Structures are given as C-alpha cells and as structure tokens.
Structure 1
Amino acid sequence: MGQSLPKPALRPFLPSDTPMLAQIFAAAIHELTGDDYNEAQQEAWAAAAEDEAAFGKMLASELTLIATLQNSPVGFASLKGSETIDMLYVHPSVAGQGVGAMLIDALEKLAGARGVKTLSVDASDTALDFFRKRGYVARQRNSVPRHGEWLANTTMQKQLVPASGASQ
C-alpha cells in the first residue's frame, strides 16, 4: 500500500517567515505566470518582495495565513481589511495540490465569521480560473502599474454563505 502524502497545515504568519515567503512569492510569479505575463512584467511584479523588511511589514499588517508541509512554509494568503483577499501564493512544487484552496477556504471562513457578506480579490490572469471555480464572479478588468510595467488583473467577488445557525 502506498504511503500517504503529508497533509498541509495552517498557522498564522510570524515575522521570521518573511524570507521564505519572499522566496515563495518570487518563485510562484516566475514559474507559474509565464503563460499570462512576459518576463519584464514578472520581474516588476516579483520586485515587491525585494525589500524583505517592507514585504514582512505588509504581511504583518494583514491577516496572513501560512500553509506548511512538515512545518515548512509552502504557501500563504492574506486578507486586507475584512473584505479583500490581497495575496495568494503557493510554491510551484505544490501548485495544483489543494494548498491554495485550503488557504482560501480558511480566509473565507474567517471573513464569514466576522460578518463579511462579500469577499473580493484582484486576481491575476493566472489565478482567474482558480477563483472562478470557487464561485468568484468577474466584476472589472484592471491595469496596474508596477515598476514601469503594466499588469492586468480582474476584480472578482464572491457572496459568502452565512454560517449555519447564524442570524440572517
């Protein structure tokens, strides 16, 4: 009988995670978005993590969850304010294995428990299908300037279902 793969676990962000999350961020951009963004756009996008102190400060200012496999970070997602998914990045080695879904499920549950009715995300072209399959609906296309490049994304929204037993 085959050995089962370890299951990912979730935990809150710790400042000591910053260097590893910066690496995951850059690797995800460089290795997973090539069908949708050119090299110059990828470089401009990944530059957001070059200043690790600023990157860590941004992650700490949001509700950031870390997905781990055998205690090592393999992905992260963050909620900006209470209604906006700001970031979702998984290491290319675990892409398509449910890590992103686990992170978004957790953010949706946390937001719903806080009384949030609608979550929004500015999804990269690479992430459009992921969010669409999870019930997010496209609302508008955007062009975002990053270090002299323009990156396209789509603002998407999802109506959260109230937790069972919650008052309407």
Structure 2
Amino acid sequence: MAINHIEWRTLRAGDPPVLAELFRDAVMQLAASHYDEAGRAAWAASVDDLDAFSSRLAQGLTLVAVADDTIAAFGQLHPADHVQMLYTAPAFAGQGIAWTLLARFEAVARAAGTPLLTAHASASAKRSFERAGFHVLAEEDVERNGVSLKRFRMQKPLVAAHIPQ
C-alpha cells in the first residue's frame, strides 16, 4: 500500500485493540521468514490479555503512525533510553516507517540528554535497527509461552566519545 501522508501522534484511549491486532499481524506475517509457526504464535499471544497490553502501551512514550486514516505502525520508548516495541502493519512494511519511528525516538532521547539507545530486536526487526545506526551487542534467546525465540541486544550511542587532547 503506497503512503500518501503519515500523521504521527501519541497513544490514544481507543488504540490498544487496534495496536494488538497490528502486533499480531506483524508477528504472524512479517516474522515468518525468521521464526517458525510455534514461535510466532507464542510471541503473538503476548497481546491476548488486552488489559495487560494496554498497560504496557501506557508506559513511556508510545508513538503511532497513521497513514491515510489507517494505523500503519507503532513503537514505544520505555524507559527513556530503550526502544521497547516497534511494529509495522504488513500492508505498510518496507516503506521506512519503522526507521522513521526510530529516528523520532532518537530525537526524543537526544533532547533528554540520553547517552545511548538500547533495544532487544527480533530477527525480523534487526535490519531496521541496523539501518538506523544500532549495532548488535549480543545474540540471545528469550522464552515466550514455553518457546525459545532468538533476538538481538542492540544499542546506538547518541553522544560522541570524549577523546582526550
């Protein structure tokens, strides 16, 4: 789906059910080349408890990308130095929305004086993070509903290292 216009906004009260559906679709479809069916189902199940998911979304800064009146993506910065969530609707994948969300989080973090951004990126999101200047610190496994999933601990320095004269 080609994007004509994107509105960037913060989380609204009615967003959680729509974001839960977007989350589930992104995991089940976009992560298919990196995770098997059981892994994706275990990961997607984390939004089954809508109240718990809504509480997670209310933490930190959750940004929502709306393209042509459709929620195209969302992400969360929580705490101020950690990208907690980054999900794009399958219809809008590959159009730079995830990268733009990361750039917006970086701007917020820089304005707050945060020295670096961190993330735990899935194998399917790793490339977007790398394009935004993050680098892999370690590969790790996380368990979701009894299934082990590979992910990457990543970071991006936001301030230049001080080099003594």
Q: Same fold (TM over 0.5)?
A: yes
How many residues in Structure 1 have an aligned counterpart in Structure 2? 159
**Which secondary structure does the structure 2 equivalent of 1:15 belong to?**
coil
Q: Which TM-score applies when normalising by structure 2?
A: 0.92
Who is 2:44 aligned against? 46
Deviations 1:7-26 (A, max 9, x none): 21110001210010001000
Cα contact 1:75–1:90 (8 A) shared by 2: yes
Structural mapping, 1:132-143, within 5 Å: 132-143=130-141
**Which secondary structure does the structure 1 equivalent of 2:125 belong to?**
helix
Assess, with a 3 A threshold, how the Cα gap between structure 1 residues 120 and 91 changes in structure 2: closer, same or farther. Answer: same
| 1:5 CA drift (Å) | 4.3
Between the aligned partners of 2:43 and 2:145, the Cα distance in structure 1 is 8
Q: Which TM-score applies when normalising by structure 1?
A: 0.90
Structural mapping, 1:143-154, within 5 Å: 143-154=141-152
| 1:81 CA drift (Å) | 0.8
Unaligned runs of 5+ in 1: 163-168
Runs of 4+ in 1 over 6 A off after TM superposition: none
Cα contact 1:9–1:68 (8 A) shared by 2: yes
Matched, 1:98 2:96: yes
Assess, with a 3 A threshold, how the Cα gap between structure 1 residues 5 and 72 changes in structure 2: closer, same or farther. Answer: closer
Structural mapping, 1:1-168, within 5 Å: 5-161=3-159
Between the aligned partners of 1:131 and 1:42, the Cα distance in structure 2 is 20
Who is 1:166 aligned against? none
Coordinate RMSD, CA, aligned:
1.4
**Which secondary structure does the structure 1 equivalent of 2:44 belong to?**
helix
| 1:134 CA drift (Å) | 1.6
| 1:161 CA drift (Å) | 4.6
